[in-house]
Structure 1
Amino acid sequence: MKTNKKLKKVIVTQSHFNHKEADLDILHFPIISFEQLDFDKNKLNRTFDWVVITSKNTVTFFKDYLDQINYKNIASIGKTTTKALVEAGFKVDFEPSTYTQEGFMQEFNVDKDMCILYPASNEKRPLMRNFMVKHDAEVVEIDLYHPIGNKLSLEGIRNNLYEIDAITFSSPSGVHVFMQHFDKQDLEGITVATIGHVTRSALEAYGVLSIMPEQATLNSMIEMLEKELNE
């Protein structure tokens, strides 16, 4: 996009970054890296009615196992996860209209004695598991990976923080890592944007307020920031 004006500078901290062209100067510093965990492979030796996939990271770490296990259906939590699954060669049988755990639970039908495989981060919220168990499903949980701070990105954020107009967060883990290295005061005068109510609540626990797009996607957040910063 050709322009003579000085673009507003935005730091995006989420791990995966693929957005449409924007009228912003975007710096990508993925604040979280992910490390795969060992788990008991014997848990996979059965037939599952559903495999519930809640993130692109799960696809990355679990796609090879998904090729080897017996399952009937795959449920995805939303658009980004579905895209990753399809690109990896898998068919998605369910995706909620609202890309959140709450939206998933409102629309996903759990039957009694259903066997559900649930691979995810070891720091996932218990919400989804409790929902499925409450409806008498047998849930096989896999602690598949865990988040760790990205040192290079944290250094990049520190070097640019006082020159930016906005910063974005897309997960509670990212918020917690940031706040381990920075203070609330470091965000004064900076527009803070979040994806999802849980991420926004994590920031609020540190006393930081944020704005949030209606749709929980990176493109929606970038569009919101374009309007917010360029008015």
Structure 2
Amino acid sequence: MKPVVVMTDSEKTQTDEVEIVHIPLIGIEMLPVKSDYLHRHYDWLIFTSKNAVKLFFKVYPTITYDKVAAIGSKTAEVLNDYGIIIDYMPTEFNQEKFIAEAAGRFKGSRCCLPVSQKARSLMYDHLAAQGEVDRIDLYRPIASRSAADLINAMIEEEKVDVLTFMSPSAVKAYYSHYNPVRIPVIAVGPVTRDALLRVQQTCVTPDGATKEQMIKKILEMREHNEF
């Protein structure tokens, strides 16, 4: 039988390799448009999520820019769908690697950083030290208690083989109500892994921060009888 995997993010995934049960722990709520930014020009637009891309071009269509930077393959895919050329993307999909590989790329630049209200300040702090940066909070994450309850019920009924997390927000949405689980837990990357470790949840991470790599890791674990 295929392993049953609960995916807790907002983007549905299709694969024939595992049986995916899609239960999003986080929704989003758009925040008011900041009219002062509507007609500004930037040297760089910097995107750290696909949600930020989709909402930014919807609500700030008059902002102009010279170059675009991005973190993550999914973010890049959405930008490509918009026909936007990416001028800089790190080799690993996290803010730490983005900053390390950028070196002095943003020095003296005017940057726009459209993000979630709950986004870490690391990127903003780096850009502010290099030049000017406007952080635009586009949306805020909304935790779903009903989703957490459903996941917990499925785990108690032994209907789930693996639980996955794509963000610290999702980790908080579940573990604010429930204790660490005994089934395997997969974190998409180091930031989410650290959030899980803080709530005493053991977990593993794939070689790359993508769902494809997460599924590959799950299949490897099944092959080695780890669950």
Please report the TM-score for the alignment, with normalisation by the length of structure 1.
0.89
Instruction: Please say which of residues 160-169 and 214-223 is displaced more in the overlay.
Output: 160-169
1:37 aligns with 2:28: no
Residue pair 1:36, 1:144 contacting (<8 A) in 2 also: yes
Asked if structure 1 preserves the Cα contact closer than 8 Å seen for 2:207 and 2:213, the reply is: yes
State the Cα distance separating 1:166 from its structure 2 match: 1.0
- Identify the residue that residue 200 of structure 2 maps to in structure 1: 207
Match of 2:7 among 8, 12, 21: 12
1:202, CA displacement in angstroms? 0.7
Aligned to 1:192: 185
| Structure 1 contact 54–81 (Cα < 8 Å) conserved | yes
- Residue in structure 2 matched with residue 175 of structure 1 by the alignment: 171
**What corresponds to 2:21 in structure 1?**
27
- CA shift at 1:65, angstroms? 4.0
Counterpart secondary structure, 2:75: helix
CA contact (8 A) 1:31 1:150 kept: yes
User: Which of 64, 71, 74 is the aligned partner of 1:77?
Assistant: 71
Number of residue pairs matched? 221
Instruction: Call closer, same or farther: CA 1:182–1:41 in 2, change over 3 Å.
Output: same
Please say if residues 72 and 94 of structure 2, whose CA atoms lie closer than 8 Å, have aligned partners that are also in contact. Answer: yes
Asked if structure 1 preserves the Cα contact closer than 8 Å seen for 2:37 and 2:63, the reply is no
- Is contact 1:110–1:132 with CA below 8 Å preserved after alignment? no
Cα RMSD (Å): 1.6
Q: CA deviation at 1:89?
A: 3.1
Q: How does 1:69-218 map to 2 (within 5 A)?
A: 69-108=63-102, 109-135=104-130, 137-162=131-156, 163=158, 164-184=160-180, 187-188=181-182, 190-218=183-211
Query: Identity of paired residues, percent?
Result: 32
Higher alpha-carbon deviation: 6-15 or 172-181: 6-15
Residues 38 and 60 in structure 2, CA contact (< 8 A), matched pair in contact too: no
What is the TM-score when the length of structure 2 is the normalising length? 0.91
Mapped to 2, the partners of 1:36 and 1:65 lie a distance apart of: 10
Any runs of at least 4 consecutive aligned residues in structure 1 with deviations exceeding 3 A, and if so which? 109-112
Q: 1:56 aligns with which of 37, 50, 54?
A: 50
Q: What runs of 5+ residues in structure 2 fail to find an aligned partner?
A: none
Q: Conserved in 2, the CA contact under 8 Å of 1:13 and 1:30?
A: yes
Correspondence for 1:226: 219
* Letter matched to residue 128 of structure 2: V
CA distance in 1, matches of 2:165, 2:46: 24
